[in-house]
Amino acid sequence: MTALPEQPDLIIEARWIAPVVPAGQVLEHHALVIHAERIVALLTQEQSRQLHPRQRRSLPHHLLIPGLVNAHGHAAMTLFRGLADDLPLMTWLQEHIWPAEARWVTPDFVRCGSQLAIAEMLLGGTTCFADMYFYPEVTAQVAREAGMRAQVAFPIIDNPIPGAANSDEAIHKGLKLHDEMRHNDLISVAFGPHAPYTVGDEALTRVRTLADELDIPIHMHIHETAGEVSDAVAASGQRPLQRLADLGLLGPRLQAVHMTQVDDADLALLQAHAVQVIHCPESNLKLASGFCPVQRLLDAGINVALGTDGAASNNDLDLLGELRTAALLAKACSGQPTALDADTALHMATLGGAQALGLSEQIGSLEAGKAADVIAVDLSGVAQQPVYHPVSQLLYTGSAALVSDVWVAGREKVRDRQLIALPLERVLNEASVWAPQILQGDSHES
Ligand SMILES: CSC[C@H]1O[C@@H](n2cnc3c(O)ncnc32)[C@H](O)[C@@H]1O
Ligand SMILES: [Zn+2]
């Protein structure tokens, strides 16, 4: 064992620690030792008392787990939360969201919406998020200011909303952002071709070539609805995933968001190319898009991560709530109560997410050497008693409200349920000006 620093930056003592690796392990009365942004050891509380840290936190009723990874969303869309509910995907997008984006989305809109999303995500225990939205450089800047980890995908869409960049411009701008963020520990950049039905072969081929050359992930909505697949088959005779395979896009750096339509041939493609699947159960339920066959994918050895999607189709960014939905839905879809058990679910929201984003060497588990992205969940509430199995209790009774403390790279972002990363009052004030304008703008038009 390497020598521990005599005076580590921080020791967090907790009633339970679920490090995720080894799978299923829960340590009782242990302590996490953190120094220079990293985890340096997991000790018994008694052993940890030999050390004299700069700061010691004692969390006697809490479960410590790795920070949650929200592997798909559109942060700035918090400002469209509740604008258009109870609609199918294409009506929602074409008649409500895309017109609203054409009218309202500016860098300042993205700044205000991203701040609101980051505040909500941190308070709910998400320490890393993957985003796909206009002005990704603005979302990246807000994440940097808050000290939150993010993968921002620059959107590529061939028939863009008015005012948005065309795919050539988008790729050019994206590569510039990728270059600027190259040495940033918290922010990474991905290609974000929106979906098979909005991006043509030429742009996708360029994306594939550049992604291979520069080792950049590709983040894309794929097989979100049955209509997406049947329209493509009617038009070209091919399912979208097969088309992407023919264009050479399938591989471990492809992040396939949604995948509610998976036939045997799709499953074989995902498996053979080690594609990352990102499951967004609540958005899929709300838009009645379909059900991702999570347990079938996991049984085939395919990595599955978890995402909320945007707040306009969810309508919250609570990843613990999402995890509970995912676990219950997996059982209902497979007819197996054993599907997506508590330990597997926790893996999906942490290390599975990290792996999907290519960050599993840095984050996703509480192991010496990894960045100290850690959250504490308070299990002392009425609805959590008694605690036989802390991870099950987290999964089946959990929500953002249980998260008490959050650290990203060893820096405190939430303490005793209070946000430290950003000034919440300012975030709320700046967000509050948009909805009245958007509502008024809508009514003038109609
Ligand atoms: C080009 S930026 C991202 C683009 O995606 C839209 N969007 C949000 N949620 C979904 C979804 O579930 N499926 C497809 N597209 C979605 C968002 O409004 C932006 O226009
Ligand atoms: Zn989405």
Say which ligand is closest to the CA of 153. Answer: 1
- For atom 20 of ligand 1, the residue with the nearest CA is 98
The reply, when asked if residue 224 is annotated as ligand binding, is yes
pLDDT reported for residue 246: 98
CA dist., res. 66 & res. 372, Å (int): 8
> Which ranges of 215-302 does DSSP label H, i.e. alpha helix?
226-236, 240-246, 264-272, 281-286, 294-299
pLDDT tens for 342-381 read 999 999 999 999 999 999 999 999 999 999 999 999 999 9
Residue 255 confidence (pLDDT)? 98
Give pLDDT, residue 161: 64
As a whole number, mean pLDDT of residues 17-38 equals 98
pTM of the predicted protein model: 0.97
Separation of CA 207 and ligand 1 centre (Å): 19
- Show the tokens assigned to 128: 């890393």
pLDDT tens profile 299-334:
999 999 999 999 999 999 999 999 999 999 999 999
Ligand 1 center–CA 344 separation, angstroms = 28
Alpha-carbon separation of residue 110 from 97, 132, 184 (angstroms): 15, 11, 21
Question: Residue 162 pLDDT more than 60?
Answer: no
User: Which numbered ligand comes closest to the C-alpha of 94?
Assistant: 1
ipTM over cut 0.90:
yes
Q: Is 74 annotated as a binding residue?
A: yes
- Contact of 409 with 371, CB cutoff 8 Å: yes
* Per-residue pLDDT tens digits for 276-296: 999 999 999 999 999 999 999
Asked if 31 and 11 touch (Cβ cutoff 8 Å), the reply is yes
Å from CA of 143 to ligand 1 middle: 20
Residue nearest (by alpha carbon) to ligand 1 atom 5: 194
Binding site membership of 354 for ligand 1 (Cβ less than 6 Å): no
Q: Name the residue at shortest CA distance from atom 19 of ligand 1.
A: 133
Closest-CA residue, ligand 1 atom 16, reads 93
* 8 Å CB contact between 287 and 53: no
What is the pLDDT at residue 402? 98
The CB-side HSE value for 384 (13 A sphere, CA atoms) comes to 21
3-state helix, strand, coil in the chain (%, to 5): 40, 20, 35
pLDDT of residue 441: 82
Average pLDDT over residues 79-91: 97
CA 235 to centroid of ligand 1, rounded, Å: 22
Arithmetic mean of pLDDT over the chain: 96
Q: Is a pLDDT exceeding 70 seen at residue 442? A: no
List of residues 6+ apart from 193 with CB closer than 8 A: 156, 157, 199, 203, 204, 207, 218, 220
Which ligand 1 atom is nearest residue 157's CA? 1
Query: Ligand 1 pocket, 72 CB below 6 A?
Result: no
**Domains of the chain (ranges, CATH numbers):** 10-66+372-415 (2.30.40.10), 68-357 (3.20.20.140)
Q: What are phi and psi for residue 33, nearest 5 degrees?
A: -105, 125
Percent of the chain scoring above 90 in pLDDT: 94
- Is the separation of the CB atoms in 79 and 109 below 8 Å? yes
State yes or no: 309 annotated in a binding site.
yes
Asked if residue 145 belongs to a known ligand binding site, the reply is no
